[in-house]
Structures are given as structure tokens and as C-alpha cells.
Amino acid sequence: MNVVQLRKLAYDEVAKCSKCGFCLPSCPIYLVLRTESASPRGRNAVTRAVIEDRLEWSEDVEKTIFRCLGCGACTVACFPSIKTRDVVFKDRECLVNEGFYPKITEKLAEYLETKHNISNEDNEERGDWQELLGDLPEHYFEKERAEVVYFVGCVASFFPMAQKIPASMARIMEHAGVDFTVLGGEEWCCGYPLIGAGMPEKMTSLMEHNLRKVKETGAKQIVFTCPSCYHTWKTFYKTDVDILSSAEFISGLLNEQRLHLNSLEAKVTYHDPCDLGRNSGVFEPPREVLKALPGVDFVELPNNRQMCTCCGGGGNLEMVDPELSARVAQMKIDEILKTGADTVASSCQQCLRTIATRARRTKTTLKVKDLTELVAEALA
Ligand code: SF4
Ligand code: SF4
């Protein structure tokens, strides 16, 4: 991407900005840093200045553009609904082209090309989460053909803190008698981190491989516990297989009365993951699931649904600036604690990691759980 292409794709968008500032209180990065360049208005102004040849790509521009969570909250607050997130991702493509980008993202691209996962691990180890389960079937949930493919995603496969999510999802599907499979070492990263890194052209081989492997199973549905994989498949993958988030899938199982549940005693609030809620429009299914759990006292966050504040884990920020990511997570935890909930549920392994890591570091007695964990705990 170069400036000529950026002008075509983004100029009309950023030119709509009246500089009113309504987006400022919605941007978690602005709320933490309190500088104009850290705001959506500032990012749009920087983009416009580069397009109009009043500013050059530089390290300062890189800092402004790579410190955005891609959460999309600014668009909701903005009268002309300027898609700052999309503009930022296009800016990143230009910055990569000009050599201004966090060098850690180069490693990420290398790992995805050679190992097909973000962790630079042997891809065959994607099934390590199965060790959390007793009584594994002989096929280890890796069947050649099945009605449903469960796409686990890199973070839940390789980060120990998140491995309880696939273990819980597998338990739920087993309990309900779902004919499902996972792709194991044949599951490759969905490619989403490359969009945040400004290198979307490198996604093609990952997408082609995943589409081919899912097709070989003959599955009619594919289920995701990772909202970013889900969002990426919905937006970029061309397939006639039904794409479902875990919340939608579990809500369907509940409606069909295929889950038998015991009572849990918990006061639970729900954090909408940006890529599931605001960026994909899935707001009600996770709430339906939580409200169906016996013994759960459900309470909303003050900023919920479209207005939900990012946990700090989006847009590759954790990789680029972990300290800033942690400060956003602290802001999130402060909001959660005000509700009086003892548990925050989300439906995303990255939200779980970001919030739980910060809660542990600050010795906060808040339980951070994925929706699948709560459902699995309630299974009779
Ligand atoms: S996408 Fe999120 S982090 Fe980025 S400018 Fe908008 S509100 Fe701020
Ligand atoms: S709310 Fe929209 S129009 Fe107003 S400053 Fe922010 S981006 Fe510009």
C-alpha cells in the first residue's frame, strides 16, 4: 500500500472528521495517554496530513498508528461513523511499505509462514489442551469426517492460561452428543494478526489451507471460541460452511435442550469482546447463555454491547506495547469491580488472558472466565 492507494481508500473517510471530539471518551488509548495523537481524531488528522503531503511517514507516525486497539469504539461515538479502525489498518500497510513498523511484527510474519502459528511452536502441539481432559476418545477429537469443525485458534492452543477454553468447549460438545472434530496440526493461524500487523497480503496461503482442510472433513458448520478467528472467517474466507461463534452454538444447544445443567452460585458480568460484539454484531447469544445458567446472578457493565470498552488485548497492542495494554486492562477491571460482580465472563481467550493477567498482578480477587468454562462447570 502506498499513499496514492491510501488516498483512494481512506481520504473521503478522514475528510469527514469535523474535529468535534465526541470520539475521545470512547477511546481507551486516549483515556490512558490523554494526548491528541493517541485519540481517534488525532489518528485521522495524521492520516489526512500524510495524504495531503503535509507530513511524512516517520517513527512518530508509527507510534500513533500502531498504538490503536482496533476496537472500533470510536466509530460508534462518531456522528459520521468514521471507520478509524479500518483507516488505521490501511495506514499500517503503508508504514510497513516505508519500513516504519514494530520489528516484532516481522517475527510474527515469519512464525506464521514457517510454523503456521503465532507462538513459533511445532504446529503438531496444537492439541496440548487435550491433556486437561481425562478419558480422551481414541481419535483425540481429530476425526477425518464430522458434521462440525471446532476451530481452536492459536492463543487457546498454545497459551496455557487459555487452554481451558478448548477443553471446556470439547466437554460441552461431547455432553450434547455433537459429531465434531478439530484439525490438530492441520489447523493454521486464521491470518488475523497479519491484518493488525499491516501485512494482509500474507494471509492468502493460510486461508487457502484452512478452507481446504475444513472442506475435507465434509463439515456443515464451523465453530469458534476465538472472536478474531470468527470475525476473520466471516469477513475474508469464502465458504458455504455455516460460521458460528461458541456463544451462538451453545445458545442453540440450550434451545434444543441438549445441555443438562446444575446450579452455579456466582454474580457474573459480561465483557463483550470487540471482534465478537461491536465488530461482528453478536451481542445477545452470550447473554442468553449466561442467563440460562441456574444460580447465576447476571449484571451488566455500565459500558455494554456497542459501548463496551476494549480489555486492552486488541490490535496486536500487547505485542507492541505491553505496558499500555496493561493500563487499559486496569481501567477495564476498575469498571468491572464497580458492578459488584465476583466473576467476569467473556467469550474470547485474549480478553481472558489480558484481564486475568492484570487481575493476578494486582492481586484482585476477581474471577475471570470464558463463557465455555462457566457452561462446562455447570454441566450435570
Ligand atoms: S479503534 Fe479503539 S483504540 Fe483505535 S482509535 Fe478507535 S477507539 Fe481508539
Ligand atoms: S467523533 Fe468523528 S468527527 Fe468527531 S472528532 Fe472523532 S472522528 Fe472526528
Q: Of 76, 98, 120, which residue constitutes the final position of a domain?
A: 98
- What is the percent of the chain where pLDDT is above 70? 100
147 and 245 share a domain?
yes
35 and 136 share a domain?
no
346 and 319 share a domain?
yes
Quote the ligand 2 centre to 18 CA distance (angstroms).
6
- pLDDT tens sequence across 253-288: 999 999 999 999 999 999 999 999 999 999 999 999
Would you state the pLDDT for residue 251? 98
Would you state the pLDDT for residue 294? 97
Mean pLDDT value of segment 108-120: 97
| Ligand 2 in reach of 42 Cβ (< 6 A) | no
Q: Which CATH number goes with the domain that contains 313?
A: 3.40.50
311 touches 271 (CB < 8 A):
yes
Mean pLDDT value of segment 140-146: 94
185 touches 153 (CB < 8 A):
no
What phi, psi does 377 have (nearest 5°)?
-65, -30
Record the pTM. 0.96
110 and 179 share a domain?
yes
Helix (H) or strand (E) holding 195: helix 192-196
- pLDDT tens sequence across 30-54: 999 999 999 999 999 999 999 999 9
Give the nearest ligand 2 atom to 24 CA. 6
| Ligand 1 in reach of 65 Cβ (< 6 A) | no
| Ligand 1 in reach of 51 Cβ (< 6 A) | no
Report the chain's mean pLDDT, rounded to a whole number: 97
Give the nearest ligand 2 atom to 21 CA. 5
Residue 25: domain span: 3-98
Q: Which CATH number goes with the domain that contains 26?
A: 1.10.1060.10
Quote the ligand 2 centre to 21 CA distance (angstroms).
5
- pLDDT tens sequence across 210-232: 999 999 999 999 999 999 999 99
92 and 139 share a domain?
no
164 and 275 share a domain?
no
238 and 276 share a domain?
no
Quote the ligand 2 centre to 52 CA distance (angstroms).
19
- pLDDT tens sequence across 350-368: 999 999 999 999 999 999 9
Q: Of 253, 286, 321, which residue constitutes the final position of a domain?
A: 253
| Ligand 2 in reach of 41 Cβ (< 6 A) | yes
Which ligand approaches the C-alpha of residue 17 most closely? 2
Residue in this structure with the C-alpha cell 462457566, named with its chain if needed: 374
Domain count, the chain: 3
| Ligand 2 in reach of 140 Cβ (< 6 A) | no
Q: Is the pLDDT of residue 138 over 90?
A: no
The per-residue DSSP string of 232-255 comes to HHHHH----SEEEEHHHHHHHHHH
Residue with the smallest CA separation from ligand 2 atom 2 is 78
216 and 117 share a domain?
yes
Would you state the pLDDT for residue 135? 82
117 and 206 share a domain?
yes
Quote the ligand 2 centre to 36 CA distance (angstroms).
12
Q: Of 226, 253, 280, which residue constitutes the final position of a domain?
A: 253
Would you state the pLDDT for residue 139? 85
Q: How confident is the model at residue 134 (pLDDT cuts 50, 70, 90)?
A: confident
94 and 119 share a domain?
no
59 and 167 share a domain?
no
111 and 182 share a domain?
yes
319 touches 105 (CB < 8 A):
yes
